[in-house]
Structure 1
Amino acid sequence: MNKYLQSAVFSAVVFSGALMAQEAPKQFDLAQYKQDVKTLASDAFGGRAPLSKGEQLTTDYLVKSLKKMGLEPGFGESYLQAVPLAKISADQNMSLSIGDMTFKNGAEFTARTQRISQQVALNNSELVFVGYGINAPEYQWNDYDGIDVTGKTVVVLVNDPGFATQDNRLFKGNAMTYYGRWTYKYEEAARQGAAGVLIVHETAPAAYGWGVVENSNTGSKFTLVDEQKNQQQVGVMGWIQHHVAQQVFTAAGLDYSQQKQRAQLRGFKATPLKLKANLLLNNQIEHAKSYNVLAVLPGKKRPQELVLMHAHWDHLGTRIDEQGKAQIYNGAVDNASGVAGVLSLAKAFKQQSQQQPFDRSIGFASFTAEETGLIGAQHYARNPSVPTKDIVAFLNIDGMNVNDGVNYILQYGEGVSELESYLERATKAQQRFVKPDPRPQNGLMYRSDHFALAQAGIPGLLFMSLGDTDPDYIAHKYHKQADDYDANWSLGGVKQDLTLMSSILAELANNQDWPQWIEASGFKSRREQDNR
């Protein structure tokens, strides 16, 4: 019996209310949770950047904690999985020239590369406006139709036409698809042969202000390295401010707003801007290894089957400002709060299993380099600790509600996978309700490590509380220095959500279900390949 048929049979029999083999833990050590966050988000850890002293402190802390709990190593005899990275540090003394205009790095544009090259340049590269830069046959949409952008630099709008028009007949309307994410824009431009990409930043469709773009793209960046030293990737990965785009279009004899409106229509045709771009990236390249962390609580009946609980450990690290002063980005909520949550669950499940083991194995993971593009998760998806066909689900925390509890839980995506029914049951048991993502236009489904596992066919759930209980968070703390530990946090939401996650984790660890993808997608077809 294949896993999908097995899942259907099991769902019909068990979900009517049969008791689980082992109850979910309900008690968590919140004093230890608070200490974990305080430690991980302390200045001593320097913002937990990959390949820094902060990484060593972080992974040592995690391994020591997991080992002390009595959990087994997740990678053979080790709790660590080496993730080979290239650290690319572009000289920030650069400028972007377009026609006779020159723009300032950081304030007006950002640029970086993932190519393993000491120099990457745009040399009189022709600019072409390609609308949203989307090639999506299933939506009958191709912004590259009829244009050859080989060696050229494409100017691209962020998000997708559905958000711009709020028309549910285009893509998914207000809800961002993967085609709206900046990562996709670069990937598609590379497939089209472009030399560079300049994404136009606007706060509403991007879902964050320019400060996030600047902080995320002007420091050292990390990348996995392929056999071609990433030469197949687009050379210059850039962003430009909205006012810069307006200036460029005016110089091209075009009205930016009119061109943006035109790009929202099916049948849009790319427009050469008859301007040339020049930019030189001088890069320092450092090859090194970062590390994913995984500990396992072995299952008794089906130990080869693995349910994963995860939170990325990295943040933005430490940067030197123009006055030469170190600025530490401690990332307390994003994502020391999530890592502490995984440790709390690991401890509780280990203690609970001493009474009666769970049927399946449970992994407690913390991957590296999420902030640079889900790199640690991508490496794990390509080099999993067990075959992907044996990974049941991936539960991912990316920021917890450290304030008071609420009467709802946020759900990211709708009609995507059967894990949504698990979320619904666990939420009802707490007399709460499932609240749809209030900001579907932000595309959070595609912005954390569960997405890298989804691309390998593994269904996941995202648990994220960034801003829904702290209206000030996104504007003044997200990816900023103000994301610090606060001794006054009530942790009511943490207790509430750990209990909910515990319920889902225990249910998956005890049953024989294989949650399926509902929505037709590459994720679903990838999972079906594993289950043939």
Structure 2
Amino acid sequence: MLKTILVCAALLTTAVQANVGKVSEIGEALDLDQYRQEVKTLASDEFEGRAPLSAGEKKTISYLTRQFKEMGLKPAFHGSYTQKVPLAKITADQNMTLKIGDLSLDNGTEFTARTQQIAEKISLDKNEVVFVGYGINAPEYNWNDYANVDVKGKTVIVLVNDPGFASKKDEDFFQGNAMTYYGRWTYKYEEAARQGAKAVFIVHETMPAGYGWGVVQNSNTNTKFTLIDDNNNMSQVGVMGWMHMRAAEKVFEAADMNYRDMQKAAAKPGFKAQPMNLSANLTMNNTIEREESQNVGAILPGTENPDEWVVLHAHWDHLGKAMENGKEVVLNGAVDNASGVAGVLELGRVFKAQSEKKPFKRTLMFSAFTAEETGLIGAEHFAKNPPVPTSQIVGFLNIDGMNVNDGVDYVLQYGGGVSELDTYVENTAKKQGRSVKADPRPQNGLFFRSDHFALAREGVPSVLFMSLGDTDPSFIANKYHKSGDDYFASWTLGGVKQDLDLIGQIMAELANNGDWPQWTTDSEFKQKRQEQRP
């Protein structure tokens, strides 16, 4: 009996592998040796972690433009392969202490603080502290944590994620365990700024955040970048902070509150913001540099509808250098996201070669933007300053980390099937003998955490292709945004071949079929697209 079971299991495994191995003409044309070399190059120490406004950026931009020129693609930005992105480079002096009441919190281990305001000094001086629950104002969910409270000029403490996470299985409450945009840290800062707050501290917990404190620490205690508006970003919140959960517990105790009790209360409808009768003091000194970073892009012009663009994208930047265990290390970002950039380059070569035999009707764009890791900044600039109107962008396909290991019999879906592009993914995966698998970590809100989201906010149907740990369980814990995210010669690249084949088939179909995918879920994205293309 056992032998029979083992034989059947072996046959099933072989059948799955056979189906997963099905490839199209696009898949057959992929050169994985070339792909491997591109990842190895971009993720080498020579590129210094590809931080914006660094020597690593110059090498990256030079490498990408050279590759696009050599493959014969045309410049995407009105005769140029690059688009200037004006940035402020803000470096906060890390010798700072946050005092709340009689407590003194240590920078890096108990809190982090940064700013996007173009100011050399930002101070909290006996600043009143208010707990505003999740810091959400969502009329469609009949939820407003800022109702009947004035936080102008004050410091607010907010919880990470949204109330749906606390409800776990109640999918009718926000979106249950799946994070909405209201749960993202970016939204928390945006809403606090709209409410007039001077400082925000988000309480970090690993499960609802989706990553450990080490990620917060690495991402917020070094140089950060921001776009610059006409008022030096003074409309943004002054202090963008995080607070370790253990530090938050001490702060709540100092306010005669129990953190867990307040957390439970904040997850229930009708919660009211609570003044904490504490004051916050902090002095943050910043070094400001104004420079220009670069987005990179190339196009394969369409022959019949050249003003209609299908975009394939992967952000080129990573985090540069950081300190780990008292030693400076290079954060090479091999999977995140040299693997995605190499995928864009490889499909660019494949489509250029295929166009020589049979041209495509629509224009195909191959892009790599800057400063994704510091808040989708390059993508935001592109979305506001596109080479063609966003109403003419058919769809935006974004790669942010590829499966560099063996192929699998599924494709991960992020965002819960919010646009018709997800139907394209499902249908193409079926041709490969694969199924669509829901995001295993919907509470992490990955749909809101990569460059496509900036385009989605402008109405462009977008889809995210990401593999950060589903085939390597140790990746998030040990490698994500750490020095462990390196290139390894042991990578089999089976998943890369699968997914580039799938993405390529979708692009080829959209390039010729005249379809305009729509948003299928009611949202600001859907409304904007309907206004663009009634």
Off by >2 Å, runs of 4+ in structure 1? 22-26, 319-323
Which residues of 2 match residues 270-419 of structure 1 at below 5 A? 270-320=273-323, 323=326, 325-419=327-421
Matched, 1:450 2:452: yes
Q: What percentage of residue pairs aligned between the two structures are identical? A: 63
1:326 Cα deviation after fit: 2.7
Q: Which runs of 5+ in 2 are unaligned?
A: 1-23
Which residues of 2 match residues 12-23 of structure 1 at below 5 A? none
Residue 207 of structure 2 aligns with which residue?
Answer: 204
Residue 6 of structure 1 aligns with which residue?
Answer: none
1:529 Cα deviation after fit: 1.9
AA aligned to 2:256 is: G
Q: Which residue among 230, 237, 242 is the counterpart of 2:240?
A: 237
Q: Which residue among 192, 206, 224 is the counterpart of 1:221?
A: 224
The answer on whether the counterparts of 2:305 and 2:362 sit within 8 Å (CA) in structure 1 is yes
CA distance in 2, matches of 1:152, 1:439: 34
Residue 55 of structure 2 aligns with which residue?
Answer: 53
1:474 Cα deviation after fit: 0.3
AA aligned to 2:482 is: K
AA aligned to 1:442 is: N
Q: Which residue among 437, 440, 455 is the counterpart of 1:438?
A: 440
AA aligned to 1:165 is: S
Q: Which residue among 241, 259, 263 is the counterpart of 1:260?
A: 263
CA distance in 1, matches of 2:417, 2:434: 20
Residue 106 of structure 1 aligns with which residue?
Answer: 108
- 1:485 alignment partner, SS class: coil
The answer on whether the counterparts of 1:84 and 1:225 sit within 8 Å (CA) in structure 2 is yes
- What per-residue deviation string (whole Å, max 9, x for no partner) do you get for residues 169-198 of structure 1? 210000000000000000000000001001
AA aligned to 1:338 is: G
The answer on whether the counterparts of 1:48 and 1:55 sit within 8 Å (CA) in structure 2 is yes
- 2:29 alignment partner, SS class: coil
CA distance in 1, matches of 2:123, 2:487: 41
TM-score of the pair, normalised by structure 2: 0.94
1:320 Cα deviation after fit: 5.0
CA distance in 2, matches of 1:299, 1:316: 36
Residue 527 of structure 1 aligns with which residue?
Answer: 529
The answer on whether the counterparts of 1:309 and 1:364 sit within 8 Å (CA) in structure 2 is yes
The answer on whether the counterparts of 2:96 and 2:107 sit within 8 Å (CA) in structure 1 is yes
The answer on whether the counterparts of 1:90 and 1:112 sit within 8 Å (CA) in structure 2 is yes
Residue 135 of structure 2 aligns with which residue?
Answer: 133
Q: Which residue among 176, 180, 185 is the counterpart of 1:182?
A: 185
AA aligned to 2:243 is: I
The answer on whether the counterparts of 2:27 and 2:498 sit within 8 Å (CA) in structure 1 is no
CA distance in 1, matches of 2:198, 2:181: 22
TM-score of the pair, normalised by structure 1: 0.95
The answer on whether the counterparts of 2:309 and 2:392 sit within 8 Å (CA) in structure 1 is yes
Q: How many residues align?
A: 510
Residue 16 of structure 2 aligns with which residue?
Answer: none
CA distance in 2, matches of 1:113, 1:377: 20
- Go from structure 1 to structure 2 and tell me whether the alpha carbon gap of 1:245 and 1:320 turns closer, same or farther (over 3 Å shift): closer
The answer on whether the counterparts of 1:26 and 1:502 sit within 8 Å (CA) in structure 2 is no
Q: Which residue among 493, 496, 508 is the counterpart of 2:495?
A: 493
- What per-residue deviation string (whole Å, max 9, x for no partner) do you get for residues 195-244 of structure 1? 10010000000000000000000000000000010000000000000011
1:415 Cα deviation after fit: 3.5
- 2:357 alignment partner, SS class: coil
- 2:94 alignment partner, SS class: coil
Q: Which runs of 5+ in 1 are unaligned?
A: 1-21
The answer on whether the counterparts of 2:160 and 2:208 sit within 8 Å (CA) in structure 1 is yes
Q: Which residue among 174, 193, 196 is the counterpart of 2:196?
A: 193
Matched, 1:478 2:457: no
CA distance in 1, matches of 2:302, 2:352: 11
1:414 Cα deviation after fit: 1.9
The answer on whether the counterparts of 2:27 and 2:500 sit within 8 Å (CA) in structure 1 is no
The answer on whether the counterparts of 1:23 and 1:506 sit within 8 Å (CA) in structure 2 is no
The answer on whether the counterparts of 1:296 and 1:364 sit within 8 Å (CA) in structure 2 is yes
The answer on whether the counterparts of 2:27 and 2:497 sit within 8 Å (CA) in structure 1 is no
- 1:354 alignment partner, SS class: helix
Matched, 1:502 2:504: yes
Residue 126 of structure 2 aligns with which residue?
Answer: 124
1:327 Cα deviation after fit: 1.4
Q: Which residue among 153, 156, 163 is the counterpart of 1:154?
A: 156
Give the CA RMSD over aligned residues.
1.1
AA aligned to 1:390 is: Q
Matched, 1:246 2:249: yes
CA distance in 2, matches of 1:110, 1:402: 33
CA distance in 2, matches of 1:402, 1:101: 47
- 1:435 alignment partner, SS class: strand
- 1:111 alignment partner, SS class: strand
CA distance in 1, matches of 2:488, 2:322: 22
CA distance in 2, matches of 1:129, 1:528: 38
Residue 145 of structure 1 aligns with which residue?
Answer: 147
The answer on whether the counterparts of 1:87 and 1:286 sit within 8 Å (CA) in structure 2 is yes
1:526 Cα deviation after fit: 1.1
AA aligned to 1:40 is: L
